[in-house]
Each structure stands twice: as structure tokens, then as C-alpha cells.
A = this chain, B = another copy of it.
Amino acid sequence: MYRTIEWLDEKNQVRLVDQTKLPLTKAFIVTGSHERIAESIKVMEIRGAPAIGAAAAMGMALAALESNAETKKQLISDLEAAAETLNTRPTAVNLTWATNRILQVANATEGDVESIIDRLIEEAKEVAEEDVRMCRAIGENALPFIESGATIQTICNAGSLATVHLGTVGAVVRVAHEEHAGNISVFAAETRPRQQGARLTVYEFMEDDIDTTLITDGMIGTVFKQGMVDCCVVGSDRVLGTGHVTNKIGTYTMAITAKHHDIPFYVVAPTSTVDIDNGPESVEIEERDPDEIRIINGEYVTRPDAKVYNPAFDITPPELITAIITEKGVVENPTRAKMREMYEK
């Protein structure tokens, strides 16, 4: 799999894949303009917290290259304007985090404008590299649980496309695939209503020639019963200090069904998603637009006035989870104490 976003050294430009065209068309955007990066973030040509963090950092580096500043002060003024331009999605904390990080480095760096710019490019690339290393560490921590020949059940997309490279669940699959000489397969649940499993997960594993089979969400029982799957590996939007896991709707049903068949259920996530002080009572589940369920590909699949319940996430309790795996380590049979021990490492 190519990187979702990448700095091209030879041109000092940024290349990113246009996710709005996937999975049917693979088109890259190559740009030297921080305004074009801002646009990509806004229209979700690039999405996923780690990926847009890297995009914002690289956007800042492009802004530095675009600047006509002759003094550090002028440069910082241009960078502050660029940071505003790049913060196109108000709730995306990674955007602010990344633009602030580049601004701090600019402020802290001594020397002429040119050397400051070089330093900012290095820092933007480092933001991306940190994400790649974090993903790889998750994949390596999970490796002892994934035997050669294993088939891994996934839900939604926690793959490369949400990160700079590898992904979280994607890293588990890819590191095991490397280690076991390609002897790893995937079953991807399509993940209604938005079908990130069908649209993204299938696409990105096929790009890497990883044997991947698409199923509907209701088929998991049959697939588990027939012994077609060896373990489940899912991501998380928020891991709680109690060992409860918030993830895409459907995850909890999958965990119950896995438990019924004695199939191990692994959750992988960076520690940045761990909310160590809180439990499930702190989570408010977002209810989304009913039309996400009523309409597919522009046409109604039910009555337009059908009543709909559309929670975006569910919560899986620790008793259904075999292990929670982060870049810092593995928590088997998660408890509050074990979670804190891993977290504070």
C-alpha cells in the first residue's frame, strides 16, 4: 500500500490519494500549495485523525516554502495565517495540534529564513514518521497473537487510509502478512450504514495482495460457526480506562458472536485514543442522520418517512475482549489496573 500522504523530497511537494474517488479510481493529488491541502482536508479527500494531522503539518511546511518572508517574524506571521487556513474542521483536534507544533518549532529555531524552512520540512516529515512508527509498533505487539495461516475478521476501516501508512488494524494484518510470508487472510464486514469495510478495507488490502473476502454484517455468525475465521481485530475511537471500547456500530454484536464461538477478540488503538480516567458512563453515543440508512447510492431503500435509529458507535465491555493492544504494549483480559499500568509505561 502506498502512503496516504507523503512528502516528495525531489520537488518539495506533497502527494496524497484522493479518498473521495476510492475504491473505484486511484487518483493522487500532488501540490505545492498549502491552500490546496486545506481544501483536501475540508472536502475529506484526506480523512482520519493521524492522516489529517500529517496533512496539516505538511501544509505548514508548504506555506513556509510559499512565503516571501525575509525575516523570521514575517515568516511566522505567514505561518500563523496558514494555520488558520488549514484549520478547516473545527472538531479535529489533530489539525490544531499539528499546526501548533510547526509554529512552536518555527519560534524555537534560530538562524536565517531558509534554514528555518528546512527545519520545518523535517518536522512535518517527522509528524508523519511518528504515525508510521506508532502503527508498526501496534502491529508488532499484536504479532504473537497472529499465527501463520490465520484469517482475521475486521469491521469498518482502521487501515492505512486513516493514517499515514499501515493503519492500526491495517498494521496488525500487514506486519503479520510480512512476517508469515503472505500467509494471512482477511474477512471484512461491509459495515453498514456507511460501508467503510466494503469501500476502504477491501480496497486497501487488495492493493497489498492480501487475500480478502467481503461479507455483510449479518454473516459473521455463519463465518465463525464454519471455522472460516481465527480471530477478530478491531480498532477503537475511544478506549476507556475500565477496558470498555467504543468503536463503529456493529463491533459489540461481533464481540458477542465471537465469544459464543470462542474466537479471540482483539482491540488495537494508539494510546492517544485511551481515555484513562473514564468509564463507559462518560460516553455519549452520537446519533446520525436517518438518511444514512434510508438512502444508498442516491436512492431510497425504504419509505422516505421510515423511523430510523442510527447510533454511530457502540461500547464493547472488557469481558468480551481478549486483549487491548497499543503501541506501548498488550493488556490481556483488561481491567482498570492493568489498563493504567500499560498507559503509564
In the bound complex, do residue B257 and residue A293 qualify as a contact, i.e. CB atoms below 8 Å apart? no
The answer to the question of A69 belonging to the interface, with a C-beta cut-off of 8 Å to chain B, is: no
Which of A141-149, A221-229, A328-336 faces chain B?
Answer: A221-229
In the bound complex, do residue B309 and residue A223 qualify as a contact, i.e. CB atoms below 8 Å apart? yes
Interface residues of A in 63-103 (CB under 8 A from B): none
> Which chain B residue lies CB-closest to A302?
B198
Complex interface: chain B residues within 8 A of A309 (CB) = 187, 213-215, 219, 223, 228
Taking the closest CB of chain B, its distance from the CB of A18, in whole angstroms, is: 16
Complex interface: chain B residues within 8 A of A225 (CB) = 252, 314
The answer to the question of A340 belonging to the interface, with a C-beta cut-off of 8 Å to chain B, is: no
Complex interface: chain B residues within 8 A of A27 (CB) = none
The answer to the question of A301 belonging to the interface, with a C-beta cut-off of 8 Å to chain B, is: yes
Residue of A191, A198, A203, A285 with most partner-chain B CB within 10 A: A198
In the bound complex, do residue B257 and residue A222 qualify as a contact, i.e. CB atoms below 8 Å apart? no
Interface residues of A in 260-302 (CB under 8 A from B): 260, 285, 293-294, 296-302
Interface of A is mostly: mixed
Q: A217-B217, A218-B250 are in contact. Are A303 and B206 (CB under 8 A)?
A: yes
Partner pick for A214 among B187, B202, B257, B307, CB 8 A cutoff = B307
> Which chain B residue lies CB-closest to A207?
B303
Partner pick for A219 among B190, B250, B300, CB 8 A cutoff = B250
In the bound complex, do residue A303 and residue B220 qualify as a contact, i.e. CB atoms below 8 Å apart? no
Complex interface: chain B residues within 8 A of A198 (CB) = 293-294, 301-302, 306
- A/B interface sample: 7 pairs, CB < 8 A: A190-B301, A198-B293, A214-B307, A216-B310, A220-B253, A222-B311, A225-B314
